Amino acid sequence: MASAPSLTVPRLDDLALSGKRVLVRVDFNCPQDDTGKITDDTRIRAAVPTIREVLGKGGKPILLSHLGRPKGKVVESMRLAPMGARLQELLGSPVVILKESTGPAVVAAIASAPRGSVVLLENVRFHDGDEKGDSALAAQWAQLGDCFVNDAFGAAHRDHASVCGIARLLPSAAGRLMEKEIAAFGRVLEKPERPLVAILGGAKVSDKLQVVDHLLDKVDALLVGGGMTYTFLSARGGAIGKSLVQKDQLDAVRGCLAKAAARKVEILLPEDHVCAEAFDEGAKPIATGAEIPEGLMGLDIGPKTRERYAARIQSARTVVWNGPMGVFEWPAFRGGTEAVGRAVAACPGYTVVGGGDSVAAVEMLGLASRIRHISTGGGASLELLETGTLPGIQALQGSQAPRAGS
C-alpha cells in the first residue's frame, strides 16, 4: 500500500517578511445582496489574522482573491471594492483598492502604497488564465511580490494560477487560516485519536464514493445519511420506495461494503426513516421502519437511527462530518441533521465539520461554537478527505521558503 501524502507545509514563520512585498491569496468570495452589500463577511474576517501578522512583521500585503464566476471577463457586480472597504473597517489600516491585477499601473500602485497599508488587487478571475492555471499569468503576478502566502483554503483544491502557479515561482508558505485547516484535517487523516468516526451525507452517492473508499482505510466507523443512503440500502437489497437511487453506482457501493467488511469497518445505515409522498417542503412527514413502502421517498433518518448515530458519535475520540442527514432546509425533515449536529457538538473528542451544507446546518442550529474546527472550504475539505492532499498544499510543499532571518 502506498504511503499517505504528508500534510506538512512551510509556515508563515518560515518566511522573511520585513521589507518584503508579500502576495497573499485570500478567499473574499463573500455573498452579497442585490445592492452589492456583503451579507456574510466570515471569509474576510478569517483572513485578518494573517494580514495583520504580515503588517506586524514589516511586510506589505498584496491581496489576490476571486469573486463569483465572471468567466474571464470584467463584470462590474463582481469587483472586489466592497470587500476592500469591509477589510479596511476590520483592520483599521488603509486598504488600497485597485481596479486591475496586472500591468504597469498595478506595479506603480504597489510601489507607492504607504507603509502599513494593504493593497487589494482586482478579481483574479477577470483573467480567464487564472482558472486555466496559465503559467504566464502566474508569472505576471509573481513579479509583483517577493514571496507568496496561500491563505485561501476554500480554493486550495483548484490548480489555478493565483493558487498554485505563484507558489511554484516564489518562496511560499501557508497563512494562518490555511495552517489551521491543514492541522485540523491532519488530526483526522494522519494520527487520529481512536475511535475515528466519519459521518457522510448529501444527495448523490457518486459525489462521495471516492471519499468513502479513502476513509475506509482510516476510520473505525462510517455513518451514512442523506440521499446517498438509499443507494447503499438498495445495494443491500432493501426496499426504498421511490427514494433517490443511482442505479449506475450500485456495483461500486457493493464494492465499498465488501471493503468495509474486509477491514472490519462498521458502516451504519438508517434503520428507520422520515418519508413523504413527494419532494416538497409542504409534504406531510411519514415515519417508516427499515423498509420504505412503494409510493414514499426517504427525506431524513428516523428517530431510532438518530439515537443509534448519536451514541456512536458520543463514543468517538475523533469525528469528521460532511453532509446533512436529510433535507435539513425544510423543518419537517431537519430532525436527523439536528440530532447528529447536537451529538457532534456534545462529543468529548476532536470534532471537524467539513464545509458546505454541514456548516450551514451547525450555524442554523447555533452549534458552531461547540465544534472544534469548522472548515471554510466545502469542496476543498471533501477533496482533502478523498485524496489526502490538495493541489494548493502540494504547491506549497514544492516551495523552498527561506528561513526568517536567513
SS3 27: coil
What H or E segment, with its residue span, contains residue 258?
A: helix 250-263
Which of 201, 241, 356, 378 is an active site residue? Answer: 356
E-strand ranges in 66-194 read: 95-97, 118-120, 147-150, 172-174
Predicted local confidence at residue 399, as pLDDT = 74
Which of 11, 20, 25, 43 is an active site residue? Answer: 43
Predicted local confidence at residue 406, as pLDDT = 43
Q: SS3 string of 273-335? A: EEEECCCCCCCCCEEECCCECCCCEEEEECHHHHHHHHHHHHCCCEEEEECCCCCCCCHHHCH
Is 79 annotated in the active site?
A: no
Cell numbers 475506509 correspond to 216
CATH architecture of 192-386: 3-Layer(aba) Sandwich (3.40)
Predicted local confidence at residue 35, as pLDDT = 92
Cα gap 101→99, rounded to integer Å: 7
Q: Which cell goes with 315? A: 463514543
Longest Cα pair distance anywhere in the chain, in angstroms? 71
Cα gap 345→360, rounded to integer Å: 14
Residues of the chain with pLDDT under 50: 1-2, 401, 403, 405-406
Please check whether the two domains, 12-179 and 192-386, share a CATH topology: yes
CATH number of 12-179: 3.40.50.1260
Tally Cβ neighbours within 10 Å of residue 238: 16
Is 295 annotated in the active site?
A: no
Is 379 annotated in the active site?
A: yes
Which of 72, 133, 186, 379 is an active site residue? Answer: 379
Q: 281's torsion region: left (phi>0), alpha (psi -120 to 50) or beta?
A: alpha
Q: Which cell goes with 54? A: 504580515
Taking each helix axis from N to C end, the angle separating 176-189 and 378-387, rounded to the nearest 10 degrees, works out to 40
Predicted local confidence at residue 327, as pLDDT = 96
Cα gap 404→13, rounded to integer Å: 7
For residue 393, the one-letter residue type is I
Predicted local confidence at residue 203, as pLDDT = 86
What H or E segment, with its residue span, contains residue 216?
A: none
Which of 132, 204, 317, 372 is an active site residue? Answer: 204
Is 175 annotated in the active site?
A: no
Predicted local confidence at residue 400, as pLDDT = 57
Domain-by-domain residue ranges, the chain?
Answer: 12-179, 192-386
Say if residues 245 and 230 touch (Cβ distance below 8 Å).
yes
